[in-house]
Structure 1
Amino acid sequence: MATDSAARDKLRLIRSANIGPVTYFQLIARFGSAAAALEAIPNLAARGGGRAPQIASLSDVEAEMRAVERLGARYLFVGEGLYPPLLAELDTAPPALIVRGRLDLLDRPTIAIVGARNASAAACRFARGLAHDLTGEGVLVVSGLARGIDTAAHQGSVDAGTVGVIASGIDIAFPPENAELQDRIARDGVLIAEQPPGREPLARHFPSRNRIIAGMALGTVVIEAAPKSGSLITARLANEAGREVMAVPGSPLDPRAQGCNALIREGATLVQNAADVLEAIRPMSSQVRAPVDRWRAGPVDVEADDAARRAITDLLGHTPVAVDELVRQSGAHPAVVATVLLELELAGRVTRHAGGRVSE
């Protein structure tokens, strides 16, 4: 792990207001270290026309680190050897994870299994069997410890290799009835949280959790999902990350099957057993993946003049727009657009959305 001093600086940056993963990586790339980025934030926010965001205090970060240690957990910072390599490829990868359990399991090829919370008994039985069969082939199963399909997937894989990703702090079980299962995963598998200890699960945390599930895996299997469900968000995130999306078909008379059937109609791989899943991910698992070094970049010096700031700011509105579109319409260099958006976000004047879009 990073030295204590470097870890404290990274956590202060991560826990500061207006700094999400994309901004974190841009700051590290520009200034070379979290310590240098923390010093530069007030000046950057001033250029963006706002006040500097509230920087996390050293005392708060040290208290969090002590709590993590008391819970028998540890941090994994992106760029370190134990950090899940596929997750590190995402532009929105969590800069730090809090983990408990057998970290050696993270070296295995990983498949996500997600689905409906109100799943049918047959679907839960299928999820347990699929997860069990996949772990028998040396695959690690990741899911979100929710009711229904997630719980069944963990139950089927906890004996041989499962990862539970939660939307709360690592010390909080949600739903409460899964407390015993969560404790067992933290002992025999891997339990992962992005939120600090003591943080209750909020609605906005679940999409963030879903991108970790999708990002860790070579592919995502969806078993029962209603339209517009969280499981379909996970599938979309997997697709956007270039991973395999798989779905188990269901009866057209069952609303819980509509999401999976729609995924198959749109090109997802139809799976009926573990062999189908292994066949679907085989081309991806054999690829040699290049290392991701954006967090190791040395300091760079990219400045934006007032004209570029005005041109880019004038293009922003309440409707999210792709950053690439801002580059095209402003005529500015992509690095200049990134710098202006960084300044505006630190000033609290820009919000980032999924899919690389921004708005006022």
Structure 2
Amino acid sequence: MEPDELASWLRLVHTPGVGSDTARRLLATFGLPASVFAQSQASLRQIVTPAQANALHLVPAELAAQLTATTDWLAQTDAAGSQRAILTLGDGRYPNSLLAMEDPPLLLFVLGRIDLWRDNTGQSIAIVGSRNPTPQGEANAKQFGQACAQAGLTVVSGLALGVDSAAHHGALEGAAAAPDQLATIAVVGTGLDRVYPKRNLALAHQIAQQGLLISEYPLGTPPLPANFPKRNRLIAGLTQGTLVVEAALRSGSLITARLASEQGKEVFAIPGSIHSAQAQGCHALIKQGAKLVENIQDVLDELRPLTAIKTVAIDAEDESAAAENSLEDPLLAALGYDPAGLDALVARTGIAPAQLQVQLLELELDNQVARLPGGLFQRMARG
């Protein structure tokens, strides 16, 4: 993109009082941003309010600094294979799936393996969920992320803590043996010159080498609370389906699921304990028609008719699980998959509390049991 063209697009984005809807009306009427700014007040006022027309004739105070920062960001050199770009609504690389939405971003800032990106939502699935998942929920997110990547799907999520991070990690592992596959896409709620949360800095760097980081927000944009629900529409828009791993009833993940449904996309949900607040959002989705998911095949059965997805070998895993179940530890059988306290387990097993603590610790060290807040224990399903 030429500097003058970039400056025009950034000016349109930063013009106060002119939102995305207004900007798209102007572009539809007059063409490129440079043409918009060349219009007379009279012409502009046929499309926008007098205040907006006046604003369009003034150069935003922050434009020069934003243009310098953006130009410098584009010029930075990244790890081998990683690229930087800004895609406008008129760019041929701009995803058609986003153009079909009611509110497509004017600009997309993109960092990573742009060369591997294909505008094919049927090859992508969103995996979202709680920022504070149970240990089992986090394990499920990673396992499904890995399995989806192994099946040839690009995993899309939001780089948040919890389920998002686990799904990204799983996808990166699942696609490690396929260097020509776009492993995962992180749609973020800040400028791409920032990583939020900071503890995901290493993960963001890894995604830039094996996947993509995408933002509609200009460089320097901080993690404002309103940005994250808004970016969820892009997560839904870039995919053929959305899998909710764990979510409370007021979770932002349910926004992504609703948007996916409104866009005609598939919605999947993993059930959990009826006693877990983190499972209530998934249960609500299932009641509303989302597909109950127990394994990767439940996802592939719905998506395979829509796209060419690699077959995932699951027979051997099923046989292994059956063999493991036949030799199940009596304490694990008594624990089940609902969280339980020490007193309840003493009543179920008849084992003395001291000995029970020892056995639970051994199972915890073997990653078969997780210790939850409130003195509860939860059995971990094997992946």
The interval holding the TM-score normalised by the smaller chain is 0.7 to 0.9
The Cα of 1:284 is off from its aligned counterpart by 4.1
Contact 2:70/2:219 (<8 A) preserved: no
The Cα of 1:151 is off from its aligned counterpart by 0.5
Distance in 2, Cα, partners of 1:155 & 1:125:
11
Gaps of 5+ in 2: 78-83, 176-182, 309-383
For 1:167, the aligned partner's letter is G
- 1:130-169 equivalences in 2 (<5 Å): 130-159=144-173, 160=175, 161-169=183-191
Distance in 2, Cα, partners of 1:241 & 1:42:
37
* Aligned counterpart for 2:92 among listed residues 55, 59, 81: 81
Q: Decide whether aligned partners of structure 1 residues 265 and 60 sit closer, same or farther in structure 2, where only a CA change above 3 A counts.
A: same
Q: Decide whether aligned partners of structure 1 residues 197 and 93 sit closer, same or farther in structure 2, where only a CA change above 3 A counts.
A: same
- 1:1-360 equivalences in 2 (<5 Å): 2-40=1-39, 42-43=41-42, 44=44, 48-50=49-51, 52-53=54-55, 55-56=59-60, 59-72=64-77, 73-107=84-118, 109-159=123-173, 160=175, 161-285=183-307
Distance in 2, Cα, partners of 1:18 & 1:275:
48
Contact 1:99/1:191 (<8 A) preserved: yes
Contact 1:21/1:91 (<8 A) preserved: no
The Cα of 1:84 is off from its aligned counterpart by 2.7
Contact 1:220/1:245 (<8 A) preserved: yes
Contact 1:21/1:92 (<8 A) preserved: yes
For 2:70, the aligned partner's letter is M
Distance in 1, Cα, partners of 2:25 & 2:307:
29
Contact 2:112/2:207 (<8 A) preserved: yes
* Greater RCO, CA 8 A, separation 6+: 1
The Cα of 1:218 is off from its aligned counterpart by 0.8
For 2:167, the aligned partner's letter is A
Task: Look up the SS of the partner of 2:51 in the other structure.
Answer: coil
Gaps of 5+ in 1: 287-360
Contact 1:13/1:56 (<8 A) preserved: no
Moved over 6 A (4+): none
Task: Look up the SS of the partner of 1:157 in the other structure.
Answer: helix
Distance in 2, Cα, partners of 1:207 & 1:45:
32
Task: Look up the SS of the partner of 1:245 in the other structure.
Answer: strand
Task: Look up the SS of the partner of 2:249 in the other structure.
Answer: coil
The Cα of 1:246 is off from its aligned counterpart by 1.2
Distance in 1, Cα, partners of 2:243 & 2:93:
25
For 2:103, the aligned partner's letter is T
Contact 1:113/1:223 (<8 A) preserved: yes
For 1:259, the aligned partner's letter is G
Q: Decide whether aligned partners of structure 1 residues 235 and 40 sit closer, same or farther in structure 2, where only a CA change above 3 A counts.
A: farther
The Cα of 1:227 is off from its aligned counterpart by 1.1
The Cα of 1:135 is off from its aligned counterpart by 0.8
For 2:60, the aligned partner's letter is A
Task: Look up the SS of the partner of 1:172 in the other structure.
Answer: coil
Aligned length: 285
Distance in 2, Cα, partners of 1:280 & 1:18:
43
For 2:74, the aligned partner's letter is E
Q: Decide whether aligned partners of structure 1 residues 17 and 270 sit closer, same or farther in structure 2, where only a CA change above 3 A counts.
A: same
Distance in 1, Cα, partners of 2:248 & 2:194:
27
Distance in 1, Cα, partners of 2:97 & 2:276:
34
The Cα of 1:38 is off from its aligned counterpart by 2.4
Q: Decide whether aligned partners of structure 1 residues 260 and 76 sit closer, same or farther in structure 2, where only a CA change above 3 A counts.
A: same
With 225-234 and 55-64 compared, the bigger mean Cα shift is at 55-64
Report the equivalent of 1:343. Answer: none
Distance in 2, Cα, partners of 1:31 & 1:82:
22
Contact 2:10/2:67 (<8 A) preserved: no
Report the equivalent of 2:317. Answer: none
RMSD of aligned residue pairs (Cα, Å): 2.2
Distance in 1, Cα, partners of 2:24 & 2:146:
37
Distance in 1, Cα, partners of 2:96 & 2:117:
9
